[in-house]
C-alpha cells in the first residue's frame, strides 16, 4: 500500500469515526427545573413516559433522518437501530397509541427548545447555545 493511499485510508477512517466520537447533549428549556434522568430520557423517546417530573407534558423533538447525531442517539441512548426505532414508532402511530417525536434540523431544535418550556430534544454537544439547558450528555 503506498503512502498516499494509506493517508487516504486514515482520512476515511477519521471521517467515519468522527461523528461517532461527538457527544450528544439532551436539552430542555432553561425554566424547566424537573430532574431528567437517563431512564426518563429513554422512557420519553420510547413513548412510555409522557410528562416531566413537574407534571407538564413533554413534547419530543428528534433530528431529521440522515443526521448522524440522530442515529447516534438512537443507538447509544435508546439501544435501537434507526430501522428498529422507526418500526416501533410506526406501530405506535398507526394504532393510535402515541405520536412520534417531530423531526427538525439542529438549528430549529435549538430555537424550539429555547422558546417552549414543554420541549425536550437533543443536538451535537458542540452546538449547544446558552438559551437551552443541558440535562444529560452521552
Partner 1 sequence: MKTSVTALSLLLACDMANAEITFSGYGSIVAGKVVSGEVDPSGEKEFQVDFYDYAFYTEDIDFEQESVIAVQMRADIADKLSATVQVVAKGADGWSPDVDWAYLTYQVGQDGTLMAGRRMLPMYYFSEYMEVGYAYPWIRPPANLYWWEITQFNGLTYSHNFFAGDWTIGTSVFGGRETQRDIKSHDFWRNRGGYYFPPAGTYIAGTADVTWSKILGTNVTASNDWIDLRASYFRTHYNTSAEVMFFDELDLDGDGVTDQIVERRSNPDGTPIISGDWPLTDFDLDFFGLGGSLTFQYVTLLFDYNYVIYDDGYGSRFPTYYVSAVYNHDVWQPYVGLSKAKLKLTENWQGFGVGDAEEHQIMTLGVRYNVAANAALKVEYNKFTDQGNRPGWYDFSYHNDAGLFSVALDFVF
* Residue 22 in contact with partner 1, rule: CB under 8 A: no
Minimum distance of partner 1 from residue 91's CB (angstroms): 4
d(CA 1, CA 16): 20
Q: Residue 31 or residue 95: which is nearer to partner 1 going by CB? A: 95
Of these, 3, 15, 16, 94, which contacts partner 1 (CB under 8 A)? 94
User: What are the distances in angstroms from CA 111 to CA 26, 70, 71?
Assistant: 14, 17, 21
Of the candidate residues 2, 31, 95, 126, the single one contacting partner 1 (CB under 8 A): 95
Q: Is 118 in the site for partner 1 (CB under 8 A)?
A: no
Asked if 76 interacts with partner 1 (CB under 8 A), we say: no
Instruction: Identify the residue among 7, 12, 33, 48 touching partner 1 (CB under 8 A).
Output: 48
- Position among 9, 12, 51, 53 found at the interface with partner 1 (CB under 8 A): 51
* DSSP E strand stretches across the chain: 24-28, 59-63, 102-104, 119-124, 133-137
Residues 124, 125, 129, CA angle at the centre, nearest 5°?
105
- Provide the grid cell at 104: 427538525
Cβ neighbours of residue 133 closer than 8 Å, sequence gap 6 or more: 27, 28, 29, 30, 32
Please say which residue, 56 or 131, places its beta carbon nearer to partner 1: 56
List interacting residues with partner 1 (CB under 8 A). 39, 42-43, 48-51, 55, 57, 65-66, 79, 81-84, 86-88, 90-91, 93-97, 99
Amino acid at each position: 500500500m503506498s503512502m498516499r493511499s494509506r493517508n487516504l485510508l486514515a482520512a476515511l477512517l477519521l471521517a467515519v469515526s468522527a461523528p461517532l466520537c461527538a457527544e450528544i447533549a439532551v436539552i430542555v428549556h432553561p425554566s424547566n427545573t424537573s430532574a431528567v434522568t437517563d431512564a426518563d430520557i429513554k422512557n420519553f423517546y420510547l413513548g412510555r413516559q409522557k410528562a416531566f417530573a413537574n407534571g407538564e407534558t413533554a413534547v419530543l423533538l428528534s433530528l431529521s433522518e440522515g443526521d448522524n447525531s440522530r442515529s447516534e442517539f438512537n443507538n447509544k441512548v435508546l439501544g435501537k437501530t434507526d430501522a428498529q426505532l422507526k418500526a416501533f414508532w410506526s406501530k405506535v402511530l398507526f394504532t393510535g397509541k402515541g405520536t412520534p417525536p417531530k423531526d427538525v434540523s439542529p438549528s430549529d431544535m435549538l430555537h424550539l427548545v429555547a422558546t417552549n418550556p414543554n420541549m425536550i430534544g437533543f443536538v451535537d454537544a458542540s452546538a449547544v447555545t446558552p438559551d437551552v439547558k443541558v440535562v444529560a450528555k452521552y
